[in-house]
Structure 1
């Protein structure tokens, strides 16, 4: 993987490694860049090998091949496109017959799909012949449509959330969280969690709040996360009406504390596979407004536990904000349904079991050829009736 930074993908993988590390399933993490802050949160027996590559390092595959020769893994699981090419080339250079090389897809850092350069590289390296994993059914379809991956070679391993760590707050917890963030008694708290990057489209959410502010009353926005757009977003927040206060919290370790202070959760991404932040908000029993991208419809259970709006549409989000803030009964109903959905469909223990079953199934194969799981995969994201 690129690095064990504090993003959603990295936090999920670190949690999966902690839960699955055992004598029968041991992990070694190789990062193309520096180890990253989450490296210290892994079990002591999990080796983290940083390659310390520079950007576009032409020797990355050679360095990775050296690691492969040394540790001789049964499975090489490369995470996201920025590691796929190096992993495939390293496997060839190493000359070691790894049982499986798997390409994991967690999403792109931009909307608009795979770039023309990425598609050419995928064809050149014949990536479509490798098995893939995706964290969403939308991601699976994207691999099929844009890279030509056979559907039966893409296994969906959805993210999960700890329903013990993330749960609705008690009255005392809620009061303490709101006090910690300086929330006024008459304010409605809108929480947003995610990297301050273009694809997350926080600017659209701020625009929606600005246009609807006269109908919202007092609002406090808690924005947890950091990234390249922090400066421009802070500048935009300064122009919001006086009835709207925005707090930029930076990277937050205790995300549950932020969610406990909130009245509703907004996720305005214009591209997403499956958001960990949304699952955490669901587990905390928050009503949610999110854009209809990726597997949002599945996660929201076709609108039964969250409200969907069109991406890049601040007017639709503004109207939805007004309706939700002025309908506390609706917020309560959606929050309860979200918690129930998180418990029944998105628990972390189920996600761990899926990973364990996946690794057992591919680790038992002797060679790389056909990976056929077609019968086990539903055609689309399942929803409850």
Structure 2
């Protein structure tokens, strides 16, 4: 009787969560930031987490993730020798019986996850982070054949799932939207005295309207379009600055364009920075000129800091930016339209304030990190039959 009573009240063992990702958790990109936030927030008594990184290249310092085991298995090409080795590692981990969920994000990880043998009681989840702009037609065809291997496909925006349904024939009945979430205590508006001091430290004028873009300098983020738009804005409204926070393969090209435009005194290339929460509240407007987006953490963080947004009407931006409520949407690849939207906000401080307040409210109500973590916990438990 004693044994039966003890068994009935013993705590539920944690579920084993095996996360496979193409990139390193140390990378500062949005998808890595999402994953770090999720793994830090999941209840430790409910989940025992192992992360397998398929990233190749130099090893950089890992952010603090207490209680999480991280393995590095570099993969150059998923169909090559390194891909086979990674598959064998994952298969051995799965055969150990310690894992109840295998969750992958990005293409290599998804392919390996889909090809793993199905074991009774093990759930396979694909976490899609973008609109699939990197996928060739051949890879899209491959995923049409592989998508049925996933028990659930999760994405942060409905637009991503709609694209998967169109291009990869994904049945939406097995798809779930869980929006990205922001730490609303870390990313928040600051009081006037803090803001004034921070702007002085950044060399920003009291009345200067400061636009900020936090993004990697890559082709899909269209930094050259943004520089073009800012040049048009500056010609109409000179007391403006643009802060570009991010690094990437287009950094030299962007710098050359800034120098050639004669706007080096108005456009600051800050490179990759860690303390984005110490930059955004000192700015006035967040901008993003991408040609494709999943759900932008950069926009969510800016909104949480009380900034209105000017962004392109692509992907998950359509879910985040409500025109006339918290920002302005413009067509992609249209610097004239982008400049006009920036100008409308530069000229109207009252409108900037109102849009920024609503942006903060939207994040608190719909896109907090706490809501995201609860949603994933509920998904996992539901799929495992524990809800």
Fold conserved (TM > 0.5)?
Answer: yes
Give the equivalent residue in structure 2 for 1:105.
128
- RMSD over equivalenced CA pairs, Å: 2.1
Partner Cα distance (1:158, 1:12) in 2: 10
C-alpha deviation, 1:7, in angstroms = 0.9
Instruction: State which of 52, 67, 70 in structure 2 corresponds to 1:30.
Output: 52
Residue 41 (str. 1) matches residue 64 (str. 2): yes
Q: Secondary structure at the match of 2:269?
A: strand
Residue 63 (str. 1) matches residue 89 (str. 2): yes
Residue 209 (str. 1) matches residue 230 (str. 2): yes
Preserved CA contact (<8 Å) 2:196 2:206: no
1:182-217 CA-partner distances (Å, limit 9, x unpaired):
223453211000111111111111001112322121
Give the equivalent residue in structure 2 for 1:184.
205
Question: Which structure has the larger Rg over C-alpha atoms?
Answer: 2
Residues 274-289 of structure 1 aligned to structure 2 (within 5 Å): 274-289=295-310
Partner Cα distance (2:246, 2:29) in 1: 9
Give the equivalent residue in structure 2 for 1:84.
110
TM-score by structure 1 length?
A: 0.87
Give the equivalent residue in structure 2 for 1:121.
142
C-alpha deviation, 1:24, in angstroms = 1.7
Instruction: State which of 273, 277, 285 in structure 2 corresponds to 1:264.
Output: 285
Partner Cα distance (1:186, 1:25) in 2: 50
Give the equivalent residue in structure 2 for 1:15.
37
1:278-337 CA-partner distances (Å, limit 9, x unpaired):
111111111210111112232123541111111111110011111110111111111111
1:125-148 CA-partner distances (Å, limit 9, x unpaired):
354664201111101111111111
Preserved CA contact (<8 Å) 1:259 1:281: yes
Q: Secondary structure at the match of 1:103?
A: strand
Give the equivalent residue in structure 2 for 1:231.
252
C-alpha deviation, 1:58, in angstroms = 3.5
TM-score by structure 2 length?
A: 0.87
Residue 350 (str. 1) matches residue 371 (str. 2): yes
Preserved CA contact (<8 Å) 1:27 1:47: yes
Partner Cα distance (1:71, 1:29) in 2: 16
Q: Secondary structure at the match of 1:289?
A: strand
Partner Cα distance (2:99, 2:121) in 1: 6
Partner Cα distance (1:303, 1:26) in 2: 44
Instruction: State which of 240, 244, 252 in structure 2 corresponds to 1:219.
Output: 240
Preserved CA contact (<8 Å) 1:135 1:157: yes
Instruction: State which of 307, 317, 321 in structure 2 corresponds to 1:296.
Output: 317
Q: Secondary structure at the match of 1:106?
A: coil
Partner Cα distance (2:258, 2:274) in 1: 23
Give the gaps of 5 or more residues in structure 1. Answer: 366-385
1:332-385 CA-partner distances (Å, limit 9, x unpaired):
1111111111111111111111011011011228xxxxxxxxxxxxxxxxxxxx
Over 3 Å counting, the alpha-carbon distance change for 1:288 and 1:38 in structure 2 is farther
1:224-272 CA-partner distances (Å, limit 9, x unpaired):
1111111101111112344852211122111011112211111111100
Q: Secondary structure at the match of 2:372?
A: helix
Partner Cα distance (1:187, 1:310) in 2: 26
Give the equivalent residue in structure 2 for 1:331.
352
Residue 161 (str. 1) matches residue 170 (str. 2): no
